[in-house]
Chains A and B, each alone.
Chain A
Amino acid sequence: MLASGGTGSLSERQNSIITTGKNKSRIHCTDDSLAGSVSQRACVFCGARVVLNPITDAIHLVHGPIGCATYTWDIRGSLSSGSEMYRNSFSTDLKEKDVVFGGEPKLAACIDELVSKYHPPAVFVYSTCVVGMIGDDIDAVCRKASERYGIDIIPVESSGFISGNKIVGYRAAAEALMKLIRPKPGETIEKTRKLNFLGEYNLGGEKWLIERYLNEIGIEVNVAFTGDSTVKALKRAPGSCLNIVQCTGSMHWVAANLEKEYGIPFLDVNFFGAGNTADSLRRIAAFYGDPEIIRKAEELIEREMARITPVIAGYRKKLTGKRAAIYVGGAFKAVALIRQMKDLGMEVVVTGTQTGKQEEYETISGLLSEGTIVVDDANPAEIERFLLDMKVDVMAGGVKERVLAYKLGIGFVDHNHERKECLAGFDGAVTFAREVYITTCSPVWKHLKQSMEGDEK
């Protein structure tokens, strides 16, 4: 009923909305956004940029007119323990004459300027819509510059029109990463017992927290892809004995290729929520198979669980029975959030993603009770309808969803690129519970609601 009802809904969107337990049909997903539907999705360039941008000491040069660079300047909350270069936004700032006569000379000049000014270890050159359209050969410009300076200058094929789906941009970034880390002929990378942490962007220092856990149990992190990473550290990636993969949407392809090219196996992990964190640590320890590592992991889990369980139980008491909605970019995050919300005694009544795949939606549906709405590539009109119809108390999502929830007098938890809070690990589970509590149970909603009742009298 919900899926097709309501005024102004678009019939072409019907197959992208299902109700668990009611619809037999599979959800329609991974397609281009419907024109005019006001999708919450971004573009290929955005996907590529968010994956690569946390590489701290690289220059990230956006080849195109100004907008694409402006909108993604310092876009993520990724933290660095060293260089701050990645927080700058460099653009070739193409003008009309460049569009008419070609942007290659300007790109070459910009690379020259940046290399002589900053001496970066690598430059990523992102292509944008116009560049793809006018046919600039950025491969050739990058190759020549790379030869000239003896550093990696890597083109990223991220023209926005290729797709409205960020996943395609993740792949462009992944290809650029594989190029970066591939050893030069004759170069050998020393094999170690360290692991790589894929799909971890160090928002709010999350990489540092998980690294602390791993160090405590006797495991060293080689490098994260790409939170707080450097070009030099990434180039050591082929020497690791294991890849753990968190954000699967952005990094499964990289993990599969690292296995193919360098024989490194990978494990899917998830450090959002205490239960997920404990599971992930156990699986990593089991992979190493060292009894000492396994013992230390159990010790850490026991200590941390004992510390945080009563705190979370306190929040659970206040949140039990509240109704939650989730609308996030990738399915990995949705899955983690569903588990965390349920751990807090809440009922998840709406779940959606921008870029989920068929099998991921099946996983999601399996986690949810009957009658839950599952949606792919939603728009504001749909989200509003779901929030109201399903009587949602709190929503988790990104910036665009936040203002919509607030307009409806509904609490909101930020789970986006730019958040400043560490939500991973055991400490992050407490922070998350507190975030959900302070917004769901805020006194402001009472006043907002009363003002509405006052209007009706």
Chain B
Amino acid sequence: MTMEKGISTQRAVEVNENQCHMCMPLGGVIAFKGIEGAMVLVHGSQGCSTYMRLANVEHFHEPVDIASSSLNEKQTIYGGEKNLRKGLDNVLRVYQPKMLGILTTCLAETMGEDMGRIIQTYLQDHQGLLVDIVPVATPSYGGTHTEGFWATTRGIIAHYARPCESHNRINVIIPHISPADIREIKRILKLMEMEYTLIPDYSMTLDRPYGGRYQKIPDGGTSTADIARMPGAPVTIQFGLTCPDALSPGLYLEQEFGVRLINLPIPIGLDNVDQFIAALSGISGKPVPQTLALERGWLLDGMADSHKYNAEGRPVIYGEPELVYALSGVCIENGAEPVVIASGSPHSRLMERLTPVIGGLSEQPVLIEEADFDMIEHAAVQKHATIGVGHSGGKFLTDHHGIPVTRVGYPIYDRIGGQRILSAGYAGTLAFLDRFTNTLLEKKYGCYREKTLEKMKPNRVM
């Protein structure tokens, strides 16, 4: 693996050692959970759905039900249609969803299951069934959970979107961010007096207030009627700068229905939030409300307060491409120049998007695509990183090298509240910045006296 300054490092090794990404259907599950009345079934062996439930439960602290077609050896050889049909019968009876998403696994794709035909036959045999069945191909040898999320969001839109009359409601397409970030983006849209369809909206389905009961399909999510009308929108705002064209839901709407696409970074970071607000102002012609101006002011004030501490940070930023892109921006605009920027995904446009962003840095960071944590750790040590920014997978940065990690992204399994981590908008950016700065300070003050004594009086007699 090359580790020269500024060189984009591809995986040179065969083994993936400590994974920085998850599998494709997992991203699909999260996207489906953002649709109103939706349930999801994974076509494969029982373990896949259970693992994905476990990963989601640990992150969201919510029941996240995922059905499985529970394929066994015989069906794997002779075809899984019978078990899939039985799975459909059972899940439809117990969950009574308005929409059922079916995600394929590596197993089903390798078997060559003809999903379109199987579903069509099932629906023909069950006339009058009031459920939309939406299949998406998500073999994990074909991409990461990031690609699974985009492919599924695009698949859902393609299933429902129909030409319709023009209306005022803008489309907002989000990447995989926290429910708290979704709620913040919705709050900003409301403050800007925008009408919108945000997809996929899992802000209420994967982070529910206590209600004394477990809802098999929690209230909330983007309504399919709204999705159907997305082609009539004046414009699509998609936080998908790194999304490849072939998976881009916003590009699909532009190419199929002529809805203008504004691709923006996730509104995390002063500059990135400004772009979002400017885009909204540009669409509506309305001024920025006082509330947001105040929040921007508080952010600026906070940036001044913490800039000298942040300048000591040498961050290693890792995770999903879109989040990594936005977080790199926040760190750079606060003087904490990233020394390693990495993503587990090999398919994104992250590196080309980063080129102008990192151009002016005093020292070029190591960029790693298709990263695993073995690579990230090596690069972090070599570049004397002082802080990690990313999900729980980076725990060994701390365990092995004493580099603390500000947790953000997915999955968060070793801390509470992954679903509540707020980083979007001016207020969220300030919350992120405070967490980042305080992580640095905690480390600094934790060993400041000993370190200084050691440095200044190295030969002292005890």
Contacts and interface: CB of A to CB of B under 8 A. Distances in A.
Interface string B112-156: 000000000000000000000000000111101000000000000
B303 to A, nearest CB: 36
A134 B139 CA distance: 14
Interface in A146-186: 160-164
A2 interface: no
A441 interface: no
Task: Pick from B45, B49, B86, B111 the residue with the most CB of A within 10 Å.
Answer: B45
B214 A129 contact: no
Interface stretch (B13-21, B231-239, B240-248, B335-343): B13-21
A82 interface: no
Nearest to B84: A35
A39 B90 contact: no
B50 A41 contact: yes
B54 A399 contact: yes
B70 A32 contact: yes
Task: Pick from B13, B106, B208, B212 the residue with the most CB of A within 10 Å.
Answer: B106
A267 interface: no
Contact of B23 (A9, A46, A67): A67
A296 to B, nearest CB: 39
Contacts of B21: 66, 70
Interface string A228-257: 000000000000000000000000000000
Given A39-B50, A69-B19, A164-B45, A133 B91 contact: no
B61 A403 contact: yes
Contact of B141 (A35, A38, A94, A451): A94
A427 interface: no
Given A129-B106, A130-B110, A408 B212 contact: yes
A109 B54 contact: no
B87 A65 contact: no
A397 interface: no
B89 A36 contact: yes
A243 to B, nearest CB: 29
Interface residues of B, number: 73
Given A67-B106, A407-B213, A161 B45 contact: yes
Contact of A10 (B23, B88, B90): B90
A71 B14 contact: no
Contacts of A46: 47, 50-51
A98 interface: yes
A399 B53 CA distance: 10
A113 B70 CA distance: 35
Contact of A65 (B15, B54, B96, B139): B139
A438 interface: no
A64 B106 contact: yes
Nearest to B82: A35
Interface in A1-54: 8-10, 12, 32-46
B54 A71 contact: yes
A259 to B, nearest CB: 30
Contacts of A160: 44-48, 107
Contacts of B83: 35
Contacts of B44: 129, 160-161
Contacts of B65: 38, 380
A70 B22 contact: yes
A69 B21 CA distance: 10
A164 B18 contact: no
Task: Pick from B17, B49, B84, B107 the residue with the most CB of A within 10 Å.
Answer: B17
Given A8-B94, A400-B57, A403-B61, A66 B23 contact: yes
Given A10-B90, A66-B16, A403-B63, A35 B68 contact: yes
Contacts of A130: 106-107, 110, 141
A44 B50 CA distance: 12
Interface in B21-79: 21-26, 41, 44-55, 57-58, 61-63, 65-73, 75-76
B50 A40 contact: yes
B216 A381 contact: yes
Nearest to A70: B19
B86 A36 contact: yes
B110 A99 contact: yes
A411 to B, nearest CB: 15
Given A35-B87, A163-B72, A66 B140 contact: yes
Interface in B150-195: none
The 6 A-B pairs at the shortest CB distance, nearest first, are namely A43-B47, A67-B23, A36-B90, A164-B46, A36-B87, A35-B87
7 contacts: A35-B70, A37-B67, A39-B46, A43-B46, A90-B16, A93-B14, A384-B213
Given A35-B86, A99-B139, 4 more contacts: A91-B15, A92-B16, A161-B45, A381-B216
Interface of A: 8-10, 12, 32-46, 61, 64-73, 88-96, 98-99, 106, 109-110, 113-114, 129-130, 132-134, 160-164, 379-381, 384, 399-400, 402-404, 406-409, 448, 451-452, 455
